[in-house]
Amino acid sequence: MIKYQNREIPETLDEILQPSHTALIIHELLHDFVSADGFFDKTNMRIDISKTLPPSVRLLKAARRNNVKVIYVRFTTLADLSNLNDPMIRKTYERNNGLEGVIQPVVEGTWGWENIPEVSPLPNESIVKKLRVDCFLQTNLDLILRSNGIKSFVILGVGAERGIVPTVGHGMNLGYFGVVPEDCINATSPSFYDTAKRFIGRYGTLVQSEKIINIWDA
């Protein structure tokens, strides 16, 4: 521990990742992004999680057997699209050369908005709906973490450069240690993966998932 102004601050990864004050965040492993017949599959943007899913499943199992709090974060599109602001609509317009007949992914309540079965939530696990890429922005994530005495979070899933980077940065500003298992994350395109890791490393800690599992199982 680091001693500073009557505070004890976790120093080692073992101290940061103590199960009693750590949460695991499952970020956007949703059908529309990663499954056959999902929205991204139909638009030739499907994210390939064939390599990252097995270690993600192992990490989730380790969290559950060690009583690490598990939280699911789902990017959410409201059915009437009322959560889309003007810049978001303009980007949609650009991508589709207009708005006629445009369908949005991960609409709340649809199959595409659900987690894939390999990492589906248990009844006692929280689901946080986010309307923007940052998991903390106008969600109840911070409230859930603080209410449960959480100091650190591990975050895995897809959208490394879009959702995980701002979440780890915002988390540091709020006082959380963010740890990212680099073998359990995907960018929306492989070309963004290394850039995402560089930014994540500025705000949090990048490790292999096996190291996290070993700490939790010790």
Domain ranges of the chain: 2-217
- Element of type H or E holding 194: helix 193-203
| d(C-alpha 57, C-alpha 176), whole Å | 24
Predicted TM-score of the model (pTM): 0.95
- What tens digit of pLDDT does each residue of 7-43 get? 989 999 999 999 999 999 999 999 999 999 999 999 8
pLDDT at 176: 98
The three-class DSSP label of residue 126 is strand
* Half-sphere exposure (Cβ direction) of 110: Cα atoms closer than 13 Å: 20
Q: What CATH class is the domain 2-217?
A: alpha beta
- What tens digit of pLDDT does each residue of 70-80 get? 999 999 999 88
